[in-house]
Structure 1
């Protein structure tokens, strides 16, 4: 990996405005941070720069490539083959939907939200990629935005994004004649996010860096959606109920009561994991919620099982069959 400090100052300045930390790059590409690390380690996907502190920094082009790889892997292509292909071939494989997000010239935007227009104006060269044509501080005042401002994109920032904002955002888009909408939030219900996306809005958490915001705006203009965030797999159950009951009984003979308490926690979390997978759903939103609960319970159970194995080894308690031979 190349060090930013080894490069000419002018080159670093030019690239800095397009540098995304690994967590941001993974999120924009729809990958988990863990998957990105594995892909980098096994396949050397991108020649990412490193900051002076040693942190990986990805250019907008590299983020674009990661997004194409994620899309093609989801379609069934092997990452080991894709990793060797240049971005042009990935683009051809992905088809016309994977359009280029690096449009020429600044985007003409209308901005709604306290402080957002000022942050863009104060951002120097990065801010120059977003040309603010008009703005207002509150969503309720958006219908007063001029229709003749030549706006391409409506950019809305709301810390708390609630369901009642949906019709106001739709009205604001119509008022300023924007072709695309980006809605930024800090806290929002999943159902509200899905409702906005059904209106062809690109919805994302308020980014920490303006460079990420610029890329989100480019994605919205290109007619693309953020890929769904990849979920890490939940390991299968290792400590079944029979083994946990055995540990509970054995733990009663020990001075330390942690094995018994941890076994009780695992029994409870495992029971909820199974229950959330079978719980009746009233509608699509409810079904999605229960899927998320099932996944969260599974991850919690897996973490507790790691702790239980360490504790069982230390106390000489029964272990799962696979652990006994490793």
Structure 2
């Protein structure tokens, strides 16, 4: 893919072949909210960036790297005001990141793209996707004619609008044929069960991003192994024992009792179960906060299990109806 150089307002340009990024893409690459970057620039003028002919700030790879170091150090508790004018070497020393690998600017990523129009959209956003080198593309998963023999890629990038588990074998076969170091799967609609099945393959799974510049951080996260850690079965919350119908039956039956505890506990379980499912859906929105929302969902699941045990004990004591043992509650 051809790398395009932005021209500065003063008539000068960046070095030949040097890749630059607009503020939004630079912020995403550095792991910053773009609003935070704008505040930092306004208050501290911290990057000495050039501007495009349209007045947009342009960041080089080394400047993006510096922003990433600033973000890490601020997360560790260092005030941005004390960091803003330190050199990149001083920031590395402060953060203990003085290894040789840390000084290398991000290089291009060889990708093979599967999905209707995805390669075209990447090509139409050269400033946002300059580091994505598209080796080949195919509008759909089709092992009979794709990929080409001998083709290898850093990342297999797959976009399927409606994703189901039937695609897993074909994605796995394509990734193996390409000897891809990582696989990124993008979707618009997908069940939580399918997302878990995809992630169990070691793939990075996320919703189709609204901007093409977000593809670079996703690919880098996949290559660097920044995926959700595998969950062992013993760490998962127990299966649900009371569905909404069972809780409604308990609530109705408890209306004949003087004690209102069964009704209150059933209402609590309805709320916690709803939040548990909501957190599972949140975990699939993007990779940045996926682990947090997955942990929230598991915490809600453990709380649900404790309350279910208490409710079962209370229901037995009061002679209230309980769901049949072994019933399939989902």
Q: 1:45 to 1:127 in 2, by over 3 A?
A: closer
Q: How does 1:291-302 map to 2 (within 5 A)?
A: none
Q: How does 1:149-298 map to 2 (within 5 A)?
A: 149-161=151-163, 165-166=167-168, 168-185=170-187, 196=198, 199-201=202-204, 203=206, 205-206=208-209, 208-209=211-212, 213-214=215-216, 216-218=218-220, 220-224=222-226, 279-281=271-273, 286-287=278-279
Identify the residue that residue 26 of structure 2 maps to in structure 1. 25
Q: How does 1:139-150 map to 2 (within 5 A)?
A: 139-141=141-143, 144-146=146-148, 148-150=150-152
In structure 1, C-alpha distance between the alignment counterparts of 2:218 and 2:76, rounded to whole Å = 23
Identify the residue that residue 262 of structure 2 maps to in structure 1. none
Q: How does 1:52-63 map to 2 (within 5 A)?
A: 52-63=53-64
Contact kept? 1:156, 1:184, Cα under 8 Å: yes
Cα deviation digits, residues 173-193 of structure 1 (max 9, x gap): 223211112334556678866
Alignment of 1:7 onto 2:8: no
Cα deviation digits, residues 168-222 of structure 1 (max 9, x gap): 433432232111123345566788667655624264644645x664565455434
Alignment of 1:45 onto 2:55: no
State the 1:121 CA deviation: 6.6
Q: 1:167 to 1:173 in 2, by over 3 A?
A: same
Identify the residue that residue 72 of structure 1 maps to in structure 2. 73
In structure 1, C-alpha distance between the alignment counterparts of 2:100 and 2:154, rounded to whole Å = 20
In structure 2, C-alpha distance between the alignment counterparts of 1:290 and 1:154, rounded to whole Å = 24
In structure 2, C-alpha distance between the alignment counterparts of 1:23 and 1:128, rounded to whole Å = 14
Contact kept? 1:152, 1:178, Cα under 8 Å: yes
In structure 1, C-alpha distance between the alignment counterparts of 2:100 and 2:226, rounded to whole Å = 8
State the 1:62 CA deviation: 2.6
Q: 1:281 to 1:114 in 2, by over 3 A?
A: same
Q: 1:280 to 1:70 in 2, by over 3 A?
A: same
In structure 2, C-alpha distance between the alignment counterparts of 1:97 and 1:168, rounded to whole Å = 38
Identify the residue that residue 115 of structure 1 maps to in structure 2. 117
Give the match's secondary structure for 1:110.
strand
Gaps spanning 5+ residues in structure 1: where?
227-274, 293-326
State the 1:280 CA deviation: 0.8
Gaps spanning 5+ residues in structure 2: where?
1-6, 229-266, 284-288, 290-330
State the 1:12 CA deviation: 8.1
In structure 1, C-alpha distance between the alignment counterparts of 2:73 and 2:196, rounded to whole Å = 24
State the 1:6 CA deviation: 0.8
Q: 1:7 to 1:35 in 2, by over 3 A?
A: same
In structure 1, C-alpha distance between the alignment counterparts of 2:279 and 2:187, rounded to whole Å = 24
Contact kept? 2:132, 2:216, Cα under 8 Å: yes
How many residues align? The count is: 237
State the 1:156 CA deviation: 1.7
**TM-score normalised by the chain length of structure 1:** 0.53
Cα deviation digits, residues 83-123 of structure 1 (max 9, x gap): 2332234345164698567455x543322123344566788
State the 1:167 CA deviation: 5.1
In structure 1, C-alpha distance between the alignment counterparts of 2:96 and 2:188, rounded to whole Å = 32
Deviation larger for 55-64 or 198-207: 198-207
Structure with the largest fraction of helix: 1
Q: 1:14 to 1:150 in 2, by over 3 A?
A: closer
Contact kept? 2:29, 2:216, Cα under 8 Å: no
Give the match's secondary structure for 2:71.
helix
In structure 2, C-alpha distance between the alignment counterparts of 1:125 and 1:57, rounded to whole Å = 10
**TM-score normalised by the chain length of structure 2:** 0.52
Give the match's secondary structure for 1:7.
coil
